[in-house]
């Protein structure tokens, strides 16, 4: 079927999805988000990719499936429990490095313009520390966020944070930004 992105998911995605459901993790990335990430990763040969918020590794599996052999992925999270699923399934891939750390501190320690694609799927680097994350994006690099459409697990008042983030990205003078009603709602921004 043309619009069935689950059929094209890598085998690691299916394994992680099963483990995610068994764990009861309620914040997984959707197949549609994974499909976009796989495609965008394929467009950054030899690049450096950053995922903020490993979760259980569904998005990391998709990024890896699009990457060439020379591309690297750093996947960061502050919760060892869900990240253990990603490590168990993906740690054998030398292109990925899993980091367990506070994102605010970690982002501040990285050199400017060090990544070609940043997928921000956590509060840090998205709603908090956005400027820190964008500082790491190389010219021509892509900044991607998901969960921009209303979600059932949003806390009260979260829509205002989403609106503010969208406004900041769309109004940023160094970014060309597109919003997509796709999967959980995406924004993709390219650094000029």
pLDDT for the residue 128: 96
- pLDDT tier at 152 (50, 70, 90 boundaries)? confident
Which residue, 117, 169, 51, is CA-closest to 161? 169
If pLDDT is split at 50, 70 and 90, which confidence band does 2 have? Answer: low
Mean pLDDT along residues 137-155: 95
SS3 at position 8: helix
pLDDT, tens only, 25-60: 988 899 999 999 999 999 999 999 999 999 999 999
Place of tokens 């966020």: 145
Domain segments of the chain as ranges: 5-191
pLDDT at 72 over 60: yes
Q: Which two tokens stand for residue 51?
A: 């995922």
- What is the reported pLDDT for 141? 98
Q: Is the pTM of this model over 0.85?
A: yes
In the numeric block, the tokens 């299916």 are attached to 14
> For the domain with range 5-191, which CATH number is right: 3.30.1490.20, 3.40.449.10, 3.40.50.620, 3.40.50.150?
3.40.50.150
């Amino acid at each position: 079927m043309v619009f069935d992105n689950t059929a094209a998911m890598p085998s690691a995605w299916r394994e992680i999805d099963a483990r995610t459901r068994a764990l009861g993790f309620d914040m997984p990335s959707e197949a549609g988000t994974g499909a976009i990430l796989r495609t965008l990763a394929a467009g950054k040969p030899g690049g450096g990719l950053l995922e903020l918020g490993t979760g259980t590794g569904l998005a990391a599996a998709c990024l890896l499936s699009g990457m060439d052999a020379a591309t690297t992925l750093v996947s960061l999270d502050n919760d060892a429990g869900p990240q253990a699923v990603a490590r168990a399934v993906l740690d054998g891939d030398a292109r990925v490095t899993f980091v367990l750390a506070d994102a605010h501190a970690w982002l501040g320690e990285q050199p400017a313009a060090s990544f070609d694609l940043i997928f921000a799927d956590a509060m840090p680097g998205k709603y908090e520390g956005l400027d820190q994350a964008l500082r790491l994006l190389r010219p021509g690099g892509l900044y991607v966020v998901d969960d921009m459409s209303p979600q059932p697990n949003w806390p009260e008042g979260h829509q205002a944070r989403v609106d503010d983030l969208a406004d900041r990205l769309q109004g940023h003078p160094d970014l060309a930004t597109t919003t997509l009603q796709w999967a959980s709602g995406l924004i993709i921004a390219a650094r000029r």
